[in-house]
Amino acid sequence: MPLTDWISLMACMGHLALAVVVLLKGRGNPLRFPLVLMSLDFFVWNFAQTAHRLSGEPMWDWIDTTFSPLGPPLVFYFVTVFVGRSRKLRPIVIVAFAGFGILSLASAAGFFGQEVVELINRKLWWSHAFLIGLGPIVAATIALLIQHLRSATTFDEQMSTRLLIAAMIVGNLLGATELWEQVFPAAGLGNVGTLASTVLVAIIVLRYRLFPRRASTVLPLYALTVGALGVLGYLVVFSLLGSDIALLVFATTIVTLVLAVAARDLFATVTSTWEQTRYLATLGRFSAQLAHDVRNPLSAMKGALQFLLEEQDQGRSIDSRRDFVELSMQQVERIERLITKYQRLGAVSPDPTAIDLNELISSVWAGVQSGRNVEGLKVDVELADDLPGLTADADLLGVAVQNVILNALDAMPDGGTLTVKTRLEAGEQVAIVVSDDGVGMDSRQQERAFDDFHTTKADGSGLGLGFVKRVLASHGGRVVLQSQPGTGTTVRLTLPLIREPA
């Protein structure tokens, strides 16, 4: 077998291995879905191209030309997610998939007639159309990466972006030679391009932690084993049944199912471990806050009861100590209110009452100060004097504001300036603005900031801003996030006013 085919098979093995690593390591990460699809697409058309060279069977050429047009839009989609602009650029992504999808469907029509495949191979329109569409999408993709590189502040993010740019240039230039040879006399080097780009992406995933979750050191070895066995299985099937299309389709389906089963057990184990860790982190966060809130009334009640017992032990009557009994009863009622509060927190079910927003903010800040060391921080609390009364759930809103303030403090481990403001805004709205000059967030982190269980902290549960968004939405309000890496973050909470009738 020629060297070029060995390179293709190595690339196929790399694609499968990368898909397995991303599938297992990227749980809950938006980059996971496009990167897995991209790896599998590259595997299919690379293997089909190699099989066509070795066998000459037109079916493999049909598979190649069906799946290869999906590569550019998948890469573009992946990059838009990587730079944190997938939502803004979604219409362009859809147009890219539609344009290249036409080429893919044109090739897929060969399944219903061999003459269609021959027509595509005989005419240059397909290759010309592919190259014409490839140029703008590659230029747009590289432009997005260069723009992201200029705004990246961490070394890992800069290196990841540089390697992605290199993978884009190498993969697309060498991949396009497969079409150039139909237009110009040149050797196709697409297999070399995909192998090189896969190696570069694997370095980003494993070395520069594209997916922050920790993974076992045996995961890359496991993924390479699955990839190698997968390629070997497809090769055996191809060698034995290359001329019988019906049996070939059946056998490749069986091999695919076996690969899926091989990855399933490890995937289930990793997923179960991650779900348990996430649950325990969430439970720990809530239980720590609940313990803090319950400790004060329990201490007061314990002190009152100890005093009454001491009075009895001394032979003194406690009939005149009704105030201590009443104090204990008040603390029991306080604990009952706390339990009700935490039930509402879990369901985000507001119980609105008339509140003074400035008093609420002052109370929240006092609670933060009692539980956190704020020495070395400059704190500026500016509460507007002209705020009218507000109808809201004080418990839910208080925890939401507390989360935002704690996030701001966490973003300034070496000190900085924290600003908390309230103000009346146009449109019958009141705003709570929390700003810090901490580490800030890049565009990808901002796009995911309000996702449930997303966190940039190693010991965080990621409930913060996702919970805040749900609380504000339950009150008819909204949350706006503005951030810049190295500059800081501003979170603006707005709530509608319900004025009392005159």
For the entire predicted model, the pTM comes to 0.62
Q: Does domain 281-347 fall into CATH 3.40.50.300? A: no
Token digits for 279? 């649950």
Give the separation between CA 58 and CA 63, rounded to whole angstroms. 9
Give residue 95's pLDDT band: very low, low, confident or very high (50, 70, 90).
very high
Give residue 276's pLDDT band: very low, low, confident or very high (50, 70, 90).
low
Report how far Cα 192 is from the mean position of its chain's Cα atoms: 31
> Which CATH number fits the domain 353-496, given the four candidates 3.20.20.150, 3.30.565.10, 3.30.420.40, 3.40.1180.10?
3.30.565.10
Which ranges of 68-189 does DSSP label H, i.e. alpha helix? 71-82, 90-108, 114-122, 125-151, 155-183
> Which CATH number fits the domain 3-214, given the four candidates 2.30.42.10, 3.40.50.2300, 2.60.40.1120, 1.20.1070.10?
1.20.1070.10
Amino acid residing at 333: E
pLDDT of residue 122: 46
pLDDT of residue 502: 38
Residue 404 CB neighbours (<10 A): 23
Strand partners of residue 483? 489
Contact 79, 145 (CB under 8 A): yes
| 151-190 pLDDT tens trace | 887 788 888 888 889 888 888 777 666 665 555 555 566 6
**How large is the average pLDDT for residues 274-300?**
63
**How large is the average pLDDT for residues 73-99?**
91
Print the SS3 string covering 31-88. CHHHHHHHHHHHHHHHHHHHHHHHHCCHHHHHHHHHHHHHHHHHHHHHHHHHCCCCCC
Token digits for 481? 């996030």
Sign, Cα dihedral of 83, 85, 87, 91: negative
> Which CA distances in Å does 301 have to 295, 296, 317, 327?
10, 9, 19, 7
Give the separation between CA 298 and CA 309, rounded to whole angstroms. 16
Print the SS3 string covering 360-389. HHHHHHHHHHHHCCCCCEEEEEEECCCCCC
Residue with tokens 């400035």: 358
Domain ranges of the chain: 3-214, 281-347, 353-496
Most confident residue range from 87-91, 221-225, 255-259: 87-91
| 373-395 pLDDT tens trace | 777 788 898 998 878 878 888 88
Contact 355, 392 (CB under 8 A): yes
Token digits for 447? 């796009």
Mean confidence (pLDDT) of the chain: 75
pLDDT of residue 435: 93
